[in-house]
A and B are shown apart, each in its own frame.
Chain A
Amino acid sequence: MNLMNPLCVIFIAGLVMTQMAAPAAEPLHVRIDRALAQSQSGPVALPSADEEFIRRLHLDFIGRIPSAVEARAFLGDNATDKRAKVMDRLLLSPEHARHMSRTIDIMWMERRPEKHVKTADWQAYLMRSFSTNQPYDKLVAELFLADGNATTSLLPREPARFILDRDGEPHLVTRDVGRVFFGVDFQCAQCHDHPKVDDYLQRDYYGLQAFIARTTVFQPDPKYPAMLAEKAAGESRFKSVFTKYEGETRPRLYGAFESAAVDVAPGTEWVVAPDDKQKNLRPIPKVSRRAQLAAQAPANLAFRRNIANRLWWHMMGRGLVEPLDGFSADNEPTHPELLDLLASEFAAMNFDMRAFLRELAMTQLYQRSSRPPPTLTLPTPESLAALEAEAKVLAPKAELSEAAWKKAVSALNQAVTNRMLAGAELDKAVAAQGEARKALDAAAKVAADATTLVATKQDLHKVTAEAAAKAKLATDKLPADKELADAGAKFLARSLTLAAELAAAQKDSDAKTTATKAATDRFALAEKFANDNRTRWNGLDQLVLGGDRAVQVAASEHQTNQFNLAKTKRRLDDSKALAEFVPLDAAARAATASFQAADKNYAPARQSLTSLQAAIAAARDGMVAAQTNRDSTGALLLELQKQVAAKADGAKAVTDAAVLAEAARLKLPNDAELAAAAAKFKMRGEQLNAELVALQKQVPDRDSAAKAAAEKLAGAQKLLAAEEAKLPAAQKALADIEPQWKALQAAAADSKAKADAAYDRLSQRWATSMATGVFAHLTPEQLCWSILQGAGTVDAQRVAAEAEFNQKNPLPAGQPEDANRTATRLRTVEQLVNDRLKGNEAVFVRLFGGEEGQPQVDFYATAEQALFFANGGTVSAMLAPSGNNLVARLNLMADAKAVADELYLTVLTRRPVPDELADVERQLAARPKEQRVAALQEMAWGLMTSVEFRFRH
């Protein structure tokens, strides 16, 4: 059944012809921008500033931010073509080869752990390939062709890693080949037609699997490296677990036809045939399915779209199709015509990645700012209506083409079923033909044997008959000789038996000849039947190939319709988002303005109430103080009055006693003791009276103080009452305008929230429609190398590596360095720096990367990452002053402005704005001299962990 199919070859050739567009006079980047402009419906961002551009370009071309020196050189360059010049310089640098080998490694291996091929060898292989700018299609071909045996194969062992380190698991390899090289994830199509993606058929999956399924990992002895072996036979048959539909397919790429059946004569299938007795012998088939894959892939549209999309994603931070492995009619590219332009042009430039990346970098889109467009104008109702009308025309078209496509798929399925059934019939007919042949051969042999027997018998009969005739002559002459007569009779008898035998043999021979004829007829019939079946199968095979073509045509038409519809919808949605935002924004501004106007009245009223309340509070405080004062002065007066009364009481008693004592002394004049006592009484009385007078003297003062305090209190109370009397009016004044003010405030907040939400939607649409420039996160590796660069670690290693190189390869004094030495020096230095610093990548990959074997494109923000930056020690160690690194350099700068300039240029590739300069000045001024280094480290850390550093923009 293995027949060459000329039609199929023509189709594939035709496909290639249409893909290979004639080289355009205009550079690709101009055509990209034009295609983009045609599908854009709103405002676009301004061109990027030099600072934005140079940071972005370094990250995308060499995987790290530029150094301050590199940035200054570029910013200070006044040449008009400086952007193109720096692109060329970077593309030719060993760092670009390194960055691309990392990028492709992640794209292909998705951070799978090392299994059969050493990671270091694999990376060195990629580095060699990118240093010499190997074309993409050649790299992929090597990947499929390599069998891991570098000694017998023309290819190195490393590219076999793609299959080897997936353990050659056919389903895993099939799925990943589909995802990584054709941009389609057939995940579910393994067991049935994809339930969610209409154009992923089980047939697509098994068509791809047919290229892979014969390959196995060959490692009879684990002591020796594993290689790939391939079987010479085995077809891909499948059965849907849902519909129970059974199908079969020869190798077939997504969106293409079944490969031509290859006719290999039985017994010639092997270059090295398997041998049960030699288990260390690796079988090699004559026809390699992997080689067919390598040969067919580059012409396949899905293959070209996939790599164009992935490289676009690499540069623009967003795929035209996302997810990158989700290309289908149901998940339309944002810009299908652009994707097809990129796919065909990348192929037309012979899959030259450097040249292609350069074209992407040259586009206005790439060089567009990531900040929002500065001015927004409302789309006209007419333009919206036109887009609505366009969508209304396109939608039913897409529905019709979908139905047509589904019909073609079921016709194809039926054709495959018919071919399978016919294949079974053909197999039976061929077997029957074989049986008939065997029967004919057997009959012919028997007939030939019988003919031989007849001849033998004829010969014998002839001899005996002749002998008998001669004997008869003899016996006739000697009739008396009895012995002779007996002998003659014997001859005669023998001759007669032989005659009978001959007759029998002749009869048998005739019968057998007749049987042979019948067998010949039967064989002829069987042969005809087999041939008829073969013809029928061929016809049905043509129908399958025709069905494939019909499906492809229908699918392609459906895709086109679907894509056109999607494009119109996208433009419509862009316009709608803008139309939604502009009035909401205006409303928000108006609401804010009304609120601010109301606030102009409200604020003074609020202010006067507040002042009044303050005045009341102050008056109340004054009154309380006055009250306290009155109470204390009153208490003092009372206390004094009490003392006066007590003193007067005592003085009176003593004075009274003194009078009586004097009277007594006068009656007893000679009593000296009595005289002394009376004198004492008198003296004491006088003393007390004097004290009383002194106390009484204080009373007026205290009395007046108390009176003054009471007056003050009255004053304070009056003041408070007066202020409090003003309160209702002030409160009313405010209350009159407050509800309106509050309503306006709420309205402004609400309006702003709505405008913000609309803005979020609009800015997402801008990003999708590429009205704004690249905004994406750094990969773990970009983040790692940018931190190493920013901190000054890379430069320190580079200086050391340069010195090492120059020491080993001294340049005679006065002799200029030639181009060869420069190239070698740059390569060696890059290699040394990479060797010494790449160990830092692991922790970044672990913390910031996706899981092993999963797509490595998503963004993850975890607390663990932040904790690593803060407490992991790695970043703070890089920020310890050393040599000429960032913090050491900053520490030598006395002037805060110089510090700010160097810090921002080194870490964020731009100069600080005044606000930031002031911030740096404050930070430095706030800390004593001995904490200056700490302050510098804190600022460097703060910038390296900022959003601005974490993203590409």
Chain B
Amino acid sequence: MAAGAGALIGGLDALAAPAAVAQMAREQKRLIIVRMHGGLSQLESWDPKPNTDTGGPFRAIPTSVPGIHISELLPHTAKQMHHLALVRGINTRNDDHGKGTYMMATGRHPVPGQSFPELGAVVARAMDHSGQSLPGHINIAAGGSGGRNNDAAYLGPKYASISLGGAQPPAYTTRPAGVTDQTSQSQEDFRRRANDRFAGHRRTAETDAYVQSYEQAQELVRQREVFDLSKEPAKDHERYGSHDFGKHCLLARRLVEKGVTCVQVSHSNYDTHNENFEFHFEQLGEFDKPFATLVGDLADRGLLQHTLVVVLSEFGRTPRINQYYGRDHWGHAWSVCMGGAGLKRGAVVGKTNDNGTAVTDRQVDAGHMFHTYLRALGVNSRHHFSIGGQRIPMADPAFEAIDELIA
């Protein structure tokens, strides 16, 4: 039985040369997903249409890439545009929060009776390698108690995201009071001896994985400060800002730097049925600087070439401005911003018409985006996972990557 095949990958690193492991760790591909909850308006961000009936009050400003203009609400991000790329022709034909979130997270249209793993889980599984002791899929949440989420479907809990509730380190990584080094060492040693004796009679891939999970746990306790944001310099805290989103971006930087494969950050809330313009002014005002700082820092530190950053939403917002100065749900012509890893820099793919009511060039769906993310991370998105004897495509085989975005 291919039971939890993922669990079987972990423990075989004993023979890998340390230098090779270090090299692999450095060049390991990473992913940061920034989720703009509620539906970011493409018109107030990546695809502005100033001076049209749908354009709203904000201007478009030039960016570091000649010819590309984005909304004036994103002045800092505009300066990083040479690291980024825009997909302006997304049509998911769907205006529902739940479905949109599902489609963008899994790259598949919802099929009743079936569930598919989310991007972070797919990437964590595809990138899993020996010598990895940190969890591969982390979700930085504003509050809550943390713990594992249900987003890995058939890939299994190993690849499900672990929420760092309130940006705190993962659960159970501190020893309870009264447990000393000696106690801990002594009980671990007793366990190891028991396992060694048992392995003399019966050993399977599952028992190996179980034994290995304890060594990983010890490693995680040793590396607990990976999650400790206070270890970042005060200057950087200042640059990212003291609000949650700024802190989370800084933590995301720290985590990918320490080798976590996939980190998710969220920014809430863009569901602006009322007062769209005021809300976007405020929200993007908070988003712009820390996001731009993150992109800049990743580039400066040589991490951006190994790290894909994606800013996505469940859909965009209607070009039509409603009677409450709001914009409603709109999956028919919207944009995603991304950059890094194997993507072309400063590229724009796809186009909408003059007032943004329809895609006029290179229309793509959530499935194309999913393939593109994987390809940008160096994963052949046409490959399959082998799950319990069944071959399941990593990405919806009905779609393909946006080739012209791949460097």
Instruction: Flag if B156 contacts A867 (CB, 8 Å).
Output: no
Q: List which B269-305 residues lie within 8 A (CB) of chain A.
A: none
Q: Is A671 an interface residue (CB 8 A)?
A: no
Q: Does A11 contact B (CB under 8 A)?
A: no
> Do B198 and A873 touch (CB < 8 A)?
no
By the criterion CB–CB under 8 Å, are A935 and B186 in contact?
yes
Question: B158–A860 contact, CB under 8 A?
Answer: yes
Interface size on A, residues (CB 8 A): 70
Cα–Cα distance between A170 and B204 once the two chains are bound (Å): 40
Contact partners of B112 in chain A: CB under 8 A:
169-172
Assess whether A853 is interfacial by the CB under 8 Å rule.
Answer: yes
B183 contacts the other chain (CB 8 A): yes
Q: Is B357 close to A, CB under 8 A?
A: no
Contact, CB under 8 Å: A950 / B210: yes
User: In this assembly, does A855 line the interface, its C-beta being within 8 Å of a C-beta of chain B?
Assistant: yes
Known A-B contacts A171-B112, A858-B4, A867-B171; the reply to A326 vs B390 at CB < 8 A is yes
Distance from A337 Cβ to chain B, minimum over Cβ atoms (Å): 21
Known: A322-B388, A946-B194. A171 touches B113 (CB 8 A): yes
Distance in angstroms between the alpha carbons of A221 and B211 in the assembled complex: 53
Complex Cα–Cα for A347 and B396 (A): 41
Is B148 engaged at the interface, CB distance under 8 Å to the other chain? Answer: yes
Taking CB atoms, residues of chain A closer than 8 Å to B174 are: 871
Which of A190, A939, A946 is B195 in contact with, Cβ under 8 Å?
A946
Report the separation of the CA atoms of residues A171 and B388 in the bound assembly, to the nearest whole angstrom.
Answer: 22
A871 touches which of B1, B176, B189, B202 (Cβ 8 Å): B176
Which of A775, A872, A935, A945 interacts with B172 by CB under 8 Å? A872
CB distance from B258 to the nearest CB of A (A): 15
Q: Is A857 in contact with B3, judged by CB distance below 8 angstroms?
A: yes
- CB neighbors of A among B131-159 (8 A): 133, 135, 147-148, 150, 152-154, 156-158
A331 touches B389 (CB 8 A): yes
Interface: A951 (CB within 8 A): yes
The one of B156, B191, B207 in contact with A851, judged by C-beta atoms closer than 8 angstroms, is B156
Q: For A860, what are the chain B residues with a Cβ–Cβ distance below 8 Å?
A: 4, 7, 156-158
Q: Is residue A850 within 8 Å, beta carbon to beta carbon, of the partner chain?
A: yes
Given contacts A169-B112, A863-B217, A872-B172, contact A846 B148 (CB under 8 A): yes
The CA-CA distance from A239 to B173 in the complex, in Å, is 54
Q: How far is the CA of A19 from the CA of B111 in the complex (A)?
A: 36
Asked if A335 lies at the interface with its beta carbon under 8 angstroms from chain B, I say no
- Interface centre among B197, B217, B391, by most chain A C-beta atoms within 10 angstroms, is B217
Closest Cβ neighbor of A170 among chain B residues: B112
Contact with A along B114-130 (1 / 0, CB 8 A): 11000000000000000
| A923 touches B (CB below 8 Å) | yes
Tell me, in angstroms, the Cα distance from A859 to B189 when the chains sit together. Answer: 24
Smallest Cβ-Cβ distance to B209: which chain A residue = A861
List residues of chain B with CB within 8 A of the CB of A919. 190, 193
B94 at the interface (CB under 8 A from A): no
Residue A953 CB within 8 A of the other chain? yes
Question: A864 in the interface, Cβ–Cβ < 8 Å?
Answer: yes
Q: Is the interface of A mostly helix, strand, loop or mixed?
A: helix
In the complex, residue of chain A having the shortest beta-carbon distance to the beta carbon of B190? A942
Q: How large is the interface on B (under 10, 10 to 19, 20 to 34, 35 or more residues)?
A: 35 or more
B-facing residues in A825-870 (Cβ within 8 Å)? 846-847, 849-855, 857-868, 870
Across the interface, which residues of B come within 8 angstroms of A861, CB to CB? 4, 7, 10, 158, 206, 209-210, 212-213
Contact status B389-A945, CB under 8 Å? no
**In the complex where A169-B113, A858-B3 touch, is A868 in contact with B194 (Cβ < 8 A)?**
no
A265 partner residues in chain B, CB cutoff 8 A: none
Q: Are A175 and B114 in contact (CB under 8 A)?
A: yes
Once bound together, how far apart are the Cα atoms of A863 and B217, in whole Å?
5
B197 in contact with A915 (CB, 8 Å): yes
Complex Cα distance, B219 from A206, in Å, reads 51
B199 located at the interface, meaning its Cβ lies under 8 Å from any Cβ of chain A in the complex: yes
Complex alpha-carbon distance, A851 and B157, angstroms: 7
Residues of B within 8 A of A935 (CB): 186
Instruction: Give the distance in Å from the alpha carbon of A355 to the alpha carbon of B307 in the complex.
Output: 59
Contact A846 B7 (CB under 8 A): no
Q: Is B230 an interface residue (CB 8 A)?
A: no
Q: How far is the CA of A866 from the CA of B211 in the complex (A)?
A: 9
Chain B 94-121, CB-CB to A under 8 Å as 1, else 0, gives: 0000000000000000011111000000
How many A-B contacts if CB must be within 8 Å? Answer: 189
B298 vs chain A, min Cβ distance (A):
27
Inter-chain contact B187/A851, CB cutoff 8 Å: no
Distance of A913 Cα from B194 Cα, bound (Å): 11
Q: A318-B1, A863-B135, A876-B176 are in contact. Are A948 and B198 (CB under 8 A)?
A: yes
Bound together, the chains give a CA A805 to CA B209 distance in angstroms of 45
The answer to whether A174 and B183 touch (CB under 8 A), given A323-B388, A846-B148, is no
A854 to B133, CA, bound (A): 26
> Is B51 located at the chain interface by the 8 A CB criterion?
no
For the complex formed, measure the closest distance between the CB of A164 and the CB atoms of chain B, giving whole angstroms.
15
For B195, list chain A residues within 8 Å (CB).
946-948
A196, A318, A868, A951: which contacts B207 (Cβ < 8 A)?
A: A951
Q: Report if B175 contacts A (CB, 8 A).
A: yes
Q: Is the CB of B213 within 8 A of A854?
A: no
Task: Please indicate the chain A residues that have their CB under 8 angstroms from the CB of B391 in the complex.
Answer: 196
CA A176 to CA B201, docked complex, whole Å = 39
Within 8 Å of chain B (Cβ to Cβ): is A303?
A: no
B216 CB-CB contact with A under 8 Å: yes
Contacting pair B388 A858 (CB below 8 A): yes
- A104: CB under 8 A from chain B? no
Q: How far is the CA of A508 from the CA of B214 in the complex (A)?
A: 104
When C-beta atoms are compared, the residue in chain B nearest to A319 turns out to be: B1
Report Cα–Cα, A937/B184, bound state, in Å. 11
B221 within 8 A of A: yes
Q: Considering the chains assembled together, what is the distance between the CA atoms of A174 and B217 in angstroms?
A: 41
- Pair A953/B210 contact, Cβ less than 8 Å: no
Q: Does B74 reach chain A (CB closer than 8 Å)?
A: no
Residues 360-386 of A, flagged 1 when their CB comes within 8 A of B and 0 if not, give 000000000011100000000000000
Say whether, besides A322-B389, A867-B217, A938 and B190 are in contact (CB < 8 Å): yes
**Contact B191–A941 (Cβ < 8 Å):** yes
Residue A934 CB within 8 A of the other chain: yes
Is A481 an interface position by the 8 A CB rule?
no
Q: How far is the CA of A857 from the CA of B186 in the complex (A)?
A: 33
Q: What separation, in Å, do the CA atoms of A850 and B115 have in the docked complex?
A: 13
- Contacting residue for A862 out of B154, B213, B219, CB 8 A: B213
CA A855 to CA B4, docked complex, whole Å: 11
Closest to B173 in A: A867
* Min CB–CB distance B173 → chain A (angstroms): 6
Instruction: Report the bound CA distance from A372 to B204 in whole Å.
Output: 12
How many angstroms between the C-alpha atoms of A263 and B147 in the bound complex?
56
In the complex, what residues of B have CB within 8 A of residue A174's CB?
A: 113
Quick check: B176 and A854 within 8 Å, CB to CB?
Answer: no
> Which partner residue on chain B sits nearest A777 by CB separation?
B206
Contact of A854 among B135, B154, B187, B211 (CB under 8 A): B154
Q: Does A943 contact B (CB under 8 A)?
A: yes
Q: What residues of A have a CB within 8 angstroms of the CB of B217 in the complex?
A: 863-867, 870
Given A171-B111, A942-B191, A947-B198, the answer on whether A871 and B207 have CB atoms closer than 8 Å is no
CA distance A948 to B147 in the complex (A): 27
**What's the least CB distance linking A668 to chain B, in Å?**
93
Q: Give the residue of A172, A938, A939 whose beta carbon is less than 8 angstroms from that of B113.
A: A172
Residues in A whose Cβ lies below 8 Å from that of B170 = 864, 867
The yes or no answer to B160 lying at the interface (CB within 8 A) is yes
Q: Is the CB of B113 within 8 A of A947?
A: no
A852, B150: Cβ atoms closer than 8 Å: yes
User: Contact: B186 with A866, CB < 8 Å?
Assistant: no
Query: With A176-B113, A935-B186 given, is the CB distance from A371 to B156 under 8 Å?
Result: no
What are 14 A-B residue pairs whose CB atoms fall within 8 Å in the complex?
A169-B113, A171-B111, A175-B113, A318-B1, A846-B148, A861-B213, A862-B7, A862-B213, A873-B176, A935-B186, A938-B183, A941-B190, A942-B187, A946-B194
Q: B-contacting residues of A (Cβ < 8 Å)?
A: 169-176, 187, 190, 196, 318, 322-323, 326, 331, 370-372, 763-764, 767, 775, 777, 846-847, 849-855, 857-868, 870-873, 876, 913, 915-916, 919, 923, 934-935, 937-939, 941-943, 945-948, 950-951, 953
